Amino acid sequence: MIKTIGVLTSGGDAPGMNAAVRAVTRTAISRGIKVYGIKRGYNGLINGDMIEMTERSVSDILQKGGTCLYTARCPEFRTAEGVDKAVEKCKEVGLEGIVVIGGDGSFRGAADLSAKGILCICLPGTIDNDISCTEYTIGYDTAMNTALDMVDKIRDTAQSHDRCSVVEVMGRNAGYIAVNTGIACGATEIITKEIPYDLDDIAKKMLETRKTGKQHFIVVVAEGVGHSTEIAQVLQEKTGIEARATILGHVQRGGTPTLRDRVVASQMGHYAVELLQQGIGNRVVAMQAGKIVDFDIKEALAMKKPYDEELHMIAREIAI
C-alpha cells in the first residue's frame, strides 16, 4: 500500500491546474495517503522544495488560474545527474509516487523518473491540446474562450474602421486553438500549419465578399505559423483594405478556469491517485470518447493526433 506521494506542475501553466492539484491532494488524503506539494516543477523535486499538503492547503484555489504550486522549466532535470538528484530526494522524503501535471516535455521527464522506480502518473495540462493520446487537455477550454472573447472585442474596432484584423492565437506548433476559435468567431480565414493556405486566395475572398457587403474581416493565425504582422501587411497590399495584427499572447494562459476545465481536472486528478493507490505508475491519464483512460508514457508520447480538417473546411465554407 502506497503511503506518500507528491504532486507538481511543470512547463507552461494552464487554467485548471489548481483544480487538478486539489483533486490529487484531497483524494490522497481521503484514502490515507500523505501528499507533498512540490514547488516549481522538477526544480522542487531536485532541491527538496516541497510542503506537506492538508485538505485546507487546496481551499479556495479551484476557481483560480495559474498554479498554486508554481511552475518552471528545469534544464537540470534533463541531465542524468538531475534525475539522480530527484530520485535521491524522493527516497529521502519517502515519495513513492508523483503526479506530474504538464505537457509532453514534462511527461518525458516523468518517463525518466519512472525508469528509476518512482511511480509517475502524468496529467495533460496545457492550453495547446497538443498531447496526442488525449482528446482534451486541462486549460484548453478556458484558453479558447479567452481567445474568443478577445477576438470579439477586436471585431468591434475592426468593424468601426472597416479593417481586417489578423489575430494570432497560441498553440505552440498546433492549430487546435486556432481552428476552434476561428470557427467560433466567424473568421474569414483560419491559418494553421496543418492546412495549406494561399494569401492570394484569402485576398481574393476578402474582395469578393466585400462586393456582397462584408466590410470588416478577421483572420485567425495559429502561433506556429508566425509572421502575423507580415500576413497583415501582405493582405493590406493585395486588397487595399487596412489591416492590423494582434498577437494575443499570454492573456490566453490566465483567468478563471471554465466549468469544463475544472471538471476534467478534478476527474483526472482523482483517477491519478486511484492508479497510484493500486501501485500503478508510468502512465498518462487521458480522455478518449469522453471517458478517462490511461496509457504507458512512452506509448503515449509516440502517438499521433489528428487535426480536425473537416472543422477547418466547414469554417472556410461558411465564412463568406
Which residue in 97, 47, 98 sits closest to 72, CA to CA?
47
State how far Cα 74 lies from the chain centre: 18
Member of 6, 12, 16, 82 binding ligand F6P (CB under 6 A): 12
Site membership for ligand ADP, residue 217 (CB under 6 A)? no
Distance CA 101, CA 90 (A): 17
DSSP state, 240?
-
Is residue 134 within 8 Å of residue 288, measured between CB atoms?
yes
Q: Which stretch binds ligand F6P (CB under 6 A): 126-134, 182-190, 199-207, 254-262?
A: 126-134
- Any residues with CB less than 8 A from the CB of 274 and at least 6 apart, and which? 27
Site membership for ligand ADP, residue 13 (CB under 6 A)? no
Site membership for ligand F6P, residue 18 (CB under 6 A)? no
The number of residues that bind ligand ADP (CB under 6 A) is 18
Distance CA 141, CA 197 (A): 26
Min separation Cβ 14 and ligand F6P, Å: 7
How many residues comprise the chain? 320
Distance CA 289, CA 283 (A): 18
Min separation Cβ 220 and ligand ADP, Å: 23
Site membership for ligand F6P, residue 168 (CB under 6 A)? no
Catalytic pick among 13, 128, 261, 294: 128
Cβ proximity to ligand F6P, 66 vs 82, nearer residue: 66
Member of 48, 105, 254, 255 binding ligand ADP (CB under 6 A): 105
170 burial type by CB count under 10 A (0-12 exposed, 13-18 middle, 19+ buried): buried
Binding mask 216-255 vs ligand F6P (x if CB under 6 A, - otherwise)? Answer: -------x-----------------------------x--
Q: Which stretch binds ligand F6P (CB under 6 A): 170-178, 194-202, 277-285, 303-311?
A: 170-178
Distance CA 318, CA 320 (A): 6
Instruction: Give residues 73-92 in contact with ligand ADP (rule: CB under 6 A).
Output: 73-74, 77-78
Is residue 201 annotated as a catalytic residue, yes or no?
A: no
Catalytic residues: 128
